[in-house]
Amino acid sequence: MKDIRFSIVIPAYNASKSIVKTLDCVAAQTYQNFEVIIIDDKSADANELAAIVKGERYSQLNITLVLSEDKLNGAGARNKGIELASGDYVSFLDADDDWRQDKLQICAEKITALEEQGKENFILYSQVNIYEDDRFLKIMPVKAVAPGESVAEYLFGLYGFIQTSTIVLKREYAEKIKFDSRYIRHQDYDFCIRADKLHFEFIMIAEPLSNYYMVTTHNSKHKGESVKYSFFWLDSMKPFLTQRETYTYKAYKLPIRYKMDGQKLRASLSFMSYFFLTDRTNRHYFIGRLKEKVYSRILGR
């Protein structure tokens, strides 16, 4: 196996309570050739975070900690981490997520195999365990990006998912793509969609190597998930989205935003207006899931 050095980029915002679990999973990695770059995004608890990171518990880790004096948001913090990275590959990890202990080992083996096959322009991602309020919810994505399928349709549909803490790519590719600092949400969508337009191949590792934790008590508008923000994001992404990709977002993602804003009727109208304008794969998947739910209720399961 090739000796690959990873740069683990961790953006942190008010993360002093979650960073221990995150750094513990890093310290426990079976593959140890890596550096850790933590960018604190002008947090109220920056001093507490620094005390934890610089403590004896993580003294064996090669950690670079940056306490930003300016508000960067998640996109800007990741970009700062990319700028400071010196490894062969960048691996993103959010400060409230964690990895399986063999995550980097499996990625190193996969990268070695792909490079031996002569592949270069690829981005790795994996399945992820999703937890909602600390309860296991499901494993996503259901399947990998299909040949000929756009990453936008994959992400906007019902079965696709590329969570930021699963993404691994060459440092120079991360430097080329970077995140768009305008976005407080959907930075991951933007990053992956632009990478797809640059003809990078997305390759999924079909096992959950990361854990993603959702907290439902957060206000959606506070996190930038309002309908207004969704339309702003769609409008700014016009150069990178086809009409059908936009329809797919409006059929499957926009209704979720409407529901979060308490507009259930608009959610239904958005879905019904655009569902039949989306690609066949997503339509068939939706209908299949609907049939499963109906049969399950009939059988009393």
pLDDT of 241 over the 80 cut: yes
CATH 3.40.30.10 fits 6-214, yes or no: no
> Using one digit for the tens of pLDDT, what is the confidence trace for 166-222?
999 999 999 999 999 999 999 999 999 999 999 999 999 999 999 999 987 655 444
Question: Which tokens belong to 277?
Answer: 């304008």
Whether the CB-CB separation of 115 and 133 falls below 8 Å is answered with no
For the chain, residues classed under CATH 3.90.550.10 are 6-214
| 140-163: average pLDDT | 97
Q: What is the total residue count of the chain?
A: 301
How crowded is residue 223: how many other Cβ atoms within 10 Å of its Cβ? 13
Indicate the average pLDDT of the chain.
95
123-127, 218-222, 257-261: lowest mean pLDDT where? 218-222
> Using one digit for the tens of pLDDT, what is the confidence trace for 17-40?
999 999 999 999 999 999 999 999
Amino acid 299: pLDDT: 75
Helix, strand, or coil here: 99? strand
Amino acid 2: pLDDT: 87
> Using one digit for the tens of pLDDT, what is the confidence trace for 43-79?
999 999 999 999 999 999 999 999 999 999 999 999 9
Q: How far apart are CA 269 and CA 143, in angstroms?
A: 28
Question: Which tokens belong to 44?
Answer: 């109220």
Amino acid 142: pLDDT: 96
One-letter amino acid identity for 210?
Answer: S
pLDDT of 156 over the 50 cut: yes
Q: How far apart are CA 23 and CA 10, in angstroms?
A: 10
Helix, strand, or coil here: 227? helix
How crowded is residue 286: how many other Cβ atoms within 10 Å of its Cβ? 18
- For residue 237, give Cα distances in angstroms to 2, 194, 249: 38, 9, 12
| Nearby residues of 292 by Cβ (< 8 Å), 6 or more positions away | none
